Chains A and B, each alone.
Chain A
Amino acid sequence: MNLDETRDLLWLACGFYGLAFLLGLLKTFKINWSVFREVPLAAISMGFLIHTRALYLRGLDVNGCPLGNSLERIQFILWSLILAFLILRLLWRLDLLGSFCAGLSFLAGGVSLLFQSLDSKYWLSPNYHKLFSNPWIELHASIAIFSYGLFSLLFVVCCMFLIQRKALLARKFNKLSSFLPPIQELEIAAMRLLSIGVLFLTISIVVGGMHWTRHPDLVSGTKMSVTLIIWLGYIIVYFAHLSKRLYGSKFAKISISLFLIAIASLASVNSRSNKSVSILGPNSLEEK
């Protein structure tokens, strides 16, 4: 294993997330696991540090924010997810949320690394200049991806909400549901995550939109439409919840569906050239 090689580091980070997930589950299901109480969090933190270094090294390779291919975008979203969790963990002691986040990062990160085709070495092309021609576009892209990290955390919280709700309605409580937070707190947390995610995505859209008005040729209509539809979807969910028209299980299910659509649309973005990137959200961060 080469610790100066991005992919090796990503595998290592994935391993730490997997370890955190496994230990987290063991801690949840096994009585008297106090000896290793902090180990899952330590493993997540270690994974995050390695993850950060991997993205930093890739950033040096591409001479900018590494968002040029599907692997980089997925890894950046997972990195944002863990970052958001670690920030939340300071305020909200919830180890099971960490286990869920680590599990998602392990699974999604592992799958993205398994497919070499997702990691095209676009920066090695002789025509490659720089991923982002403008620092504002780089900012736009990184904020958009960070908002996706928050939406992925929202996805995790909504899944926890549905598990807890199902247990309450079925009147059957397993160990997993007994360690989950109350559904009211989960819904409040979900709404806060949605608010911050929508705020970041909106800022990103505004920054990208300003650039797009000057260079409309840099982004395809389809990609922009998909991005705007997802943004609009989150905005509608946000205001519907705010006005108490959408809440509880419907709110959780729609948030989960929206995130899955967002991720699916992200996967459909293919690199087309190495010269420039489009604007407006992670769906449109394609190279032309």
Chain B
Amino acid sequence: MSGTYHNSLVLLGSSHRVADLSVREKISLPSESIDEFYNGLGKIKGVDEYLLLNTCNRTEIYAASHKELTLDPIKQYFSKFRNLEPSFLNQHSYHKNNHGVVSHLFEVASGIDSQMVGETEILGQVKKAYDDACRRKISGKILNRLFQKGFQAAKWARTNTGISKGQVNLGNVLCELARRIFGKVNDCRVLVVGAGEVAENSIEALKSRGSQSITVTGRTFDWCPLSRNKPNELAEKFGGFALSFNQFKESLHLFDIVLTSTASGYSIIGYTDIKNAMKKRPSKPLFLIDASVPRNIEEKAAKVDNVFLYNMDDVSAIANENLKSRMAEVEKCKGALAQRAKKLWDQIVYNS
């Protein structure tokens, strides 16, 4: 068969698999230089179609030709463009051609090649890169087919395998746990103690699931050296309420979910506080998440009936467990995607 086809595909890439963060920073293309990079790439002889996928974790150049195509001129061009030693690029990159490119794209789009296996953000990034290539009219018959089939394969993998099952970050694990306790998150009243990055990410996750009642409190309403945002600013940003730190303990019974994320270094919610709160809402569960190290909620509080207390270790254990079950699905997914890739490559070859 190899003697009868002309269509060819090549890929030059670098990702978290072959390069650490400092190396990826050198290889990655700054957004302002992408136009210039594309202009130069289009001038390489024999390259009919091309596309750049440039994310924080990977930089990949896909190129296709209706004739035989080799990777060397692309590699030379990239080294020169980024001022990289060819040996350095060789060490921190991978090269694929033809059927290997198809398989690789299917794995990337479905998230099994991502650092956080099964994450969905990558599919959006691949789509964005493809849209950009279409707009520039640099993607043709071969790449159009490759990427459109790649999107279908990604959808298939997420629907039919367990690679995206379970939550793997704090905000999403929190929402999943809240769902198991209360059902709908949007009916829950949430109190966030602290206004740092963890608090903000958690609020974002809760908001994205329709949470409407979010209250933020913190040790200070003025400038806080350990928080990125002041509580009132954070509350305002997400359409929530700000509560005075001096009053929040008396109001604990009004909330269904309490998340603490401060750098206070000591326990700010004690067993007695929770016991007193639960006396006012005995039959309603209270979900406590202590996302602080050192912990902000006394561990003994978990002994109170109808109280569910989770700390960072618990959340990490759940996330890791979910990640493990995703990993278990990777091989199964890879096998199925490889079959699809082979089928697509055969079609590309026959249609040439």
Query: Which residues of A are in contact with B by a Cβ distance under 8 Å?
Result: 31-32, 164, 167-169, 171-173, 177, 180-185, 187, 241, 244, 247-250
Q: Which 5 A-B pairs have the closest CB atoms?
A: A247-B283, A182-B183, A248-B306, A171-B314, A244-B283
Residue-by-residue, is B298-334 near A (CB-CB < 8 Å gives 1, otherwise 0)?
0000100110101000100110010000000000000
Contact A244 B181 (CB under 8 A): no
B323 to chain A, nearest CB (A): 13
Do A173 and B161 touch (CB < 8 A)? Answer: no
Query: Which chain A residues border B314 with CB–CB below 8 Å?
Result: 171
Separation of A244 and B306 alpha carbons in the complex (Å): 12
Q: CB-CB < 8 A to A31: which residues of B?
A: 160-162
C-alpha spacing A167/B176, complex, angstroms: 13
Q: A181-B183, A184-B182 are in contact. Are A248 and B283 (CB under 8 A)?
A: yes
Contact B180 A185 (CB under 8 A): no
Write out the residue numbers on chain A whose beta carbons fall within 8 Å of the beta carbon of B180: 164, 167-168, 173, 177, 180, 182-183
Hey, which chain B residues are within 8 Å of A241, CB to CB? 283
Q: Do residues A183 and B317 form an inter-chain contact, with CB atoms below 8 A?
A: no
Query: Do A250 and B308 touch across chains, with their CB atoms under 8 A apart?
Result: no
Instruction: Return the contact of B305 from the options A177, A180, A249 (Cβ within 8 A).
Output: A249
| Set of chain A residues within 8 Å of B100, measured between Cβ atoms | none
- CA of A173 to CA of B259, assembled, Å: 21
Contact (Cβ within 8 A) A184 B318 = no
Inter-chain CA distance A183–B308, complex, in Å, is: 11
A-B contact pairs, 27 of them (CB 8 A): A31-B160, A31-B161, A31-B162, A32-B160, A164-B180, A168-B181, A169-B308, A171-B314, A171-B317, A173-B318, A173-B321, A181-B183, A182-B180, A183-B180, A184-B183, A184-B284, A184-B285, A185-B183, A187-B283, A241-B283, A247-B282, A247-B306, A248-B283, A248-B285, A248-B306, A249-B305, A250-B305
Chain B residues in 8 Å Cβ range of A181:
183
In the complex the two chains form, is B318's CB within 8 Å of A182's CB?
no
A175 to B100 Cα, complex, angstroms: 36
In the assembled complex, the Cα of A66 lies from the Cα of B179 at a distance in Å of 44
A-facing mask of B177-200, CB < 8 A → 1, else 0? 101111100000000000000000
List of A residues within 8 angstroms of B181 by Cβ:
168, 182-184
- Residues of B with C-beta under 8 A to A177: 180
Residues of B within 8 A of A171 (CB): 310, 314, 317-318
Dominant SS among interface residues on chain A = helix
Cβ-closest chain B residue relative to A164: B180
Cα–Cα, bound, A173→B180 (Å): 10
Can you name the residue of chain B whose Cβ is closest to the Cβ of A172? B321
Nearest to A241 among chain B residues (CB) is B283
Find chain A residues with CB under 8 A from B318 CB: 171, 173
Interface centre among B177, B285, B317, B318 (most CB of A within 10 A): B285
Task: Output the nearest chain B residue to A250 by Cβ-Cβ distance.
Answer: B305
A177 to B310, CA, bound (A): 17
Question: Please, how many angstroms separate the alpha-carbon atoms of A147 and B155 in the complex?
Answer: 48
Q: Considering the chains assembled together, what is the distance between the CA atoms of A250 and B161 in angstroms?
A: 39
Q: What's the Cα separation between A244 and B314 when bound, in Å? A: 30
Closest residue of B by beta carbon distance from A178: B180
Interface residues of B in 120-161 (CB under 8 A from A): 160-161
Cα A230 to Cα B109 with chains together (Å): 61
> From residue A93, how far is it (CB to closest CB) to chain B in Å?
13
Nearest-CB residue, chain A, relative to B177? A168
B190 to chain A, nearest CB (A): 15
Bound state CA distance, A169 and B288, in angstroms?
12
Most A CB contacts (10 A, CB to CB) among B180, B282, B285 go to: B180
How many whole Å from B138's CB to the nearest CB in chain A?
38
Q: Which residues of B contact A185 (CB under 8 A)?
A: 183
CB proximity of B255 to chain A, nearest CB, Å: 14
Flag if A244 contacts B183 (CB, 8 Å). no
Q: How far is the CA of A164 from the CA of B181 in the complex (A)?
A: 9
Determine if A182 and B283 form an interchain contact, defined as CB atoms under 8 angstroms apart: no
Nearest A residue (CB) for B160: A32
Q: Within 8 Å CB of A184, what residues of B? A: 181-183, 284-285
Give CA–CA (A247, B318) in the complex, Å: 27
In the bound complex, how far is the Cα of B256 from the Cα of A183, in angstroms?
A: 13
Q: How many Å lie between the Cα of A39 and that of B306 in the bound state?
A: 36
Which single residue of chain A is at the shortest CB-CB distance from B184? Answer: A182
CB distance from B234 to the nearest CB of A (A): 27
| Complex CA distance for A248 and B278, rounded to whole angstroms | 12
Chain A residues within an 8 Å CB radius of B317: 171
Complex interface: chain B residues within 8 A of A248 (CB): 283, 285, 305-306
Q: How far is the CB of B159 from chain A (nearest CB, A)?
A: 8
Q: Closest A-chain residue to B256, C-beta based?
A: A184
